[in-house]
Structure 1
Amino acid sequence: MLSELTANAVADAETRRAARSLVDVEREALLRPAALDALEVLHPAGQVKVIAEIKRSSPSRGALAPIVDPAALARSYELGGASAISVLTEGRRFGGSLADLVSVRAAVALPVLRKDFISTAYQVFEARAAGADLVLLIVAALDDDALRELFDLIVDLGMTPLVETHSADELDRAAALGARLIGVNARDLSTFELDRDLFGRLADRFPDGAVRVAESAVQSAADVAHYRAAGADVVLVGEALVTGDPVANLRAFLAV
């Protein structure tokens, strides 16, 4: 599944590239105002922090919410106390787009993450041109050379890489990059199975000083408490927010 998602994301990016060249996108990226400092915003604190996700559907759950106005949802997230907004821009299986990211960036003062299956420089420049402050890199989808190249490009453009892992080996690879924002995804992107205890088993492998992000398997405040007890500084939450009351749920999560 991960290979398919990544290949499709590249194919869609190539279609966009035919209409808007790398030179043009790079120029737009370099003309953007400086990215927000996501590491400062997500720095560990006495209270858990939340990256709230705009997510219409997923391969594992199907349609979740229509989200006709992603900017309005992002403003609700900001009102509810989210520290950052994740925007799924993959179109085929998640129903997202770069237009969603552009509208969210214009609507909120929080750092915005481009969450997609990133494996080319063109996609990174697209992210900055659309106003992203963070870009997701999935270790399982990239070899070491590509991971390093994309990581360095994201940093050079002033953005923050969120390096996503799903095993001890992948977490070690993230640490070797010097990543300062590292996620553990409870969902295996090859099988889409969930393991809510994976974060806890890997917590001791995070490098000193890294911000520790728990991703997936958050449906309730109890799930947030579970991750917080295991050492998470940040939780990334999508489904529970788009299918329920986003402000009330966020406030419940932040009360943990």
Structure 2
Amino acid sequence: MILDELVTATHNRLERQREKVSLPKLKQEVAKLNATAKLDFLAVLQRPGIHVIAEVKKASPSKGTIVTDFPYLQVARTYEQAGADAISVLTEPDYFKGKLRYLNEISAATSIPTLRKDFTIDPYMVYEAKLNGAAIILLIVAILTDEQLCNLRKLAESLGMQAIVEAYTETEVTRAVRSGAKIIGINNRNLKNFAVDFGHSFKMRSLVPAKIPVIAESGISGPADVKRLAQADFKGVLVGEALMKATNKREMIRAFKEF
């Protein structure tokens, strides 16, 4: 399964990175950071309307290279100028061609929250996210135990970040709620085979208590999809491929924000 391969690659990457920078050293670097943080993303989601997480994404396992021209800083600035509420940055290098450097530079160049989009499996990656400017991390229920979900979320919060806890199945959504997640993402993409079903998130929405903001992820292609999600009480959408391929990214984001 693709997900198993991604997790294995992440473990291997972690081992290589620990040889370069130890966890104690990483913690020291994080401790030196200026205490000033970007706007709390949970507070953003509590505002009226639907909120857009616009993704900077070069490739994926299912689509291969999405764009050959990749001016990531320009794209990120365009997203912010168009009214995006946060920017998702792929940092997984083996399958998504992401880099931590992209996150670092985009976080420095923009004023809205940035999300480290990766397969976070260890506290080391949470500290990496913080050091490189992230205000949000992604925690995928399918690859974490209940203890890990809780501990990694609490660590992120202790560092001034928020966690989007991502689920796909009914069991995963239930686990996300039980873990104490403050933000839940429902993925329309099955990470075991990368098949996408836009209607999937609607089926899962009722499993999440109304007090927890829910974000729909994957398979969102245009304003009509966002309108349906807004009507179903989703508080946010994470859009990657459609925005990366859009000839007018500003116009697309502004159309999303009308609902």
User: TM class by shorter-chain length?
Assistant: over 0.9
Q: Which moved more, 1:58-67 or 1:187-196?
A: 58-67
Secondary structure of the residue aligned to 2:94 is coil
1: CA distance, partners of 2:24 / 2:69: 32
What is the aligned counterpart of 1:252 among 240, 248, 255?
A: 255
* Distance (Å, rounded) in 2 between the aligned partners of 1:33 and 1:7: 34
Aligned equivalent of 2:243: 241
2:198 matches 1:157: no
Give the deviation of 1:75 after TM superposition.
Answer: 0.6
Please say if residues 150 and 180 of structure 2, whose CA atoms lie closer than 8 Å, have aligned partners that are also in contact. Answer: no
Amino acid aligned to 2:8 = A
Equivalent-residue separation in structure 1 for 2:180 and 2:47 (angstroms): 18
Equivalent residue number for residue 95 of structure 1: 97
Give the whole-Å Cα distance in 1 for the aligned partners of 2:159 and 2:222: 36
**What letter matches 1:22 in structure 2?**
L
Partner residue of 1:24? 25
Alignment-mate amino acid for residue 25 of structure 1: L
Structure 1: how far apart are the matches of 2:166 and 2:31? Answer: 26
Deviation at 1:232, TM superposition (A): 0.9
Change (3 A) 1:44 1:193: farther
How far, CA to CA, are the matches of 1:167 and 1:33 in structure 2? 39
Question: Could you say what the CA RMSD is over the residues aligned between the two structures, in angstroms?
Answer: 1.3
Report what 2:111 is aligned to: 109
Q: Which runs of 5+ in 2 are unaligned?
A: none
Aligned partner of 1:72 in structure 2 is 74
Partner amino acid, structure 1, of 2:4: S
1:2 to 2:3 alignment:
yes
Tell me the SS of whatever aligns to 2:215: strand
Q: Does 1:184 align with 2:186?
A: yes
Matched, 1:145 2:147: yes
Please say which of residues 32-41 and 179-188 is displaced more in the overlay: 32-41
Q: Deviations over 1:210-235 (max 9, x none)?
A: 11100011111111112222221100
Corresponding residue number in structure 2 for 1:60: 62
Runs of at least 4 residues of structure 1 off by over 4 A? none
Deviations 1:154-208 (A, max 9, x none): 1221210100000221111111122111000000000111121111111111123
Within 5 A, what are the aligned runs for 1:13-52?
13-34=14-35, 35-36=37-38, 37-45=40-48, 47-52=49-54
Unaligned runs of 5+ in 1: none
- Paired residues in the alignment total 255
Instruction: Give the CA deviation at 1:30.
Output: 2.2
Q: Deviations over 1:128-162 (max 9, x none)?
A: 11111100000001111222221221122121010
- TM-superposed CA distance for 1:240, in Å, is 0.8
Q: Give 1:44 shift.
A: 4.4
User: Which amino acid is 1:215 matched to?
Assistant: E
Q: Tell me the TM-score normalised to structure 2 length.
A: 0.94
Give the residue type in structure 2 aligned to 1:209.
K
- State which of 189, 195, 198 in structure 2 corresponds to 1:196: 198
